[in-house]
Amino acid sequence: MAPARIIVLISGTGSTLAALIRAAQAPDSAFEIVGVLADGDAPGLAHARQAAIPTAVVPLRDHPTRADWDRALAAAIAELSGRALPDLVVLAGFMKLVGPAVLSAHPGRIINTHPALLPSFPGAHGVRDALAHGVKITGATVIEVDAGIDTGRILAQRAVEVHEGDTEETLHERIKVVEREMLVDVVSSLAAAPAPQPA
């Protein structure tokens, strides 16, 4: 079976993307990364360029409305993907909500990773909120993206203990270690699964 073709969206340092690139470079990988897209000049794009993966940048500020940006994002994903739409769109530290244009172009084929155990602590500050709440266990979650804020179907979760003296940075770094491994596992299993047959 040909490897599944995936597009990855990032906003930041891209350590999660780097883990996906390493996995995709393995000889028996069930997926290949055909493009990486960012919503600004994300440092993580360097990982894609080093691996000679095509990249694109679609900043929100370059578009008059959110809906225009969302349409431009959908067009950029299609362009990066070339001959056919991607089998999977992976949000790996993409810090913006995708809208109806992107969601309707890839129904059921967009996943996101979040650094907390959803449904607890959704949104942009999952690690900070968990720490502030004083939980002893937090972790990471991979969801199927829907139109809500981190409300999609849960595909996988892994727990991470909160240590005495943890800061947002120290806790987030430990969560990321688990998150990278889990996201690679989820992408690999979705990629290996036979494509759903049209009804």
Nearest-approach distance from CB 196 to ligand GRF, in angstroms: 26
Is 136 annotated for ligand binding?
A: no
Q: Which residue is it, tokens 């360029």?
A: 49
1 is in an annotated binding site: no
CB of 136 to ligand GRF, least distance (A): 20
Establish if 115 lies at the interface with ligand GRF (CB under 6 A).
Answer: yes
**Tokens of residue 109, six digits:** 């084929």
Residue nearest to ligand GRF (CB): 93
Question: Contacts by 69-78 with C-beta closer than 8 Å and gap 24+?
Answer: 69/99, 70/98, 70/99, 70/100, 70/101, 70/102, 71/101, 73/37, 73/39, 73/98, 73/99, 73/101, 73/102, 74/101, 74/102, 74/105, 76/37, 77/7, 77/35, 77/37, 77/102, 77/105, 77/106, 78/105
86 interacts with ligand GRF by CB under 6 A:
no
Binding mask 125-164 for ligand GRF (x = CB under 6 A): ----------------------------------------
34 assigned to a ligand binding site: no
- Which residues between 52 and 81 bind ligand GRF (CB under 6 A)? none
Binding residues for (6R)-10-formyltetrahydrofolate: 66, 95-98, 112
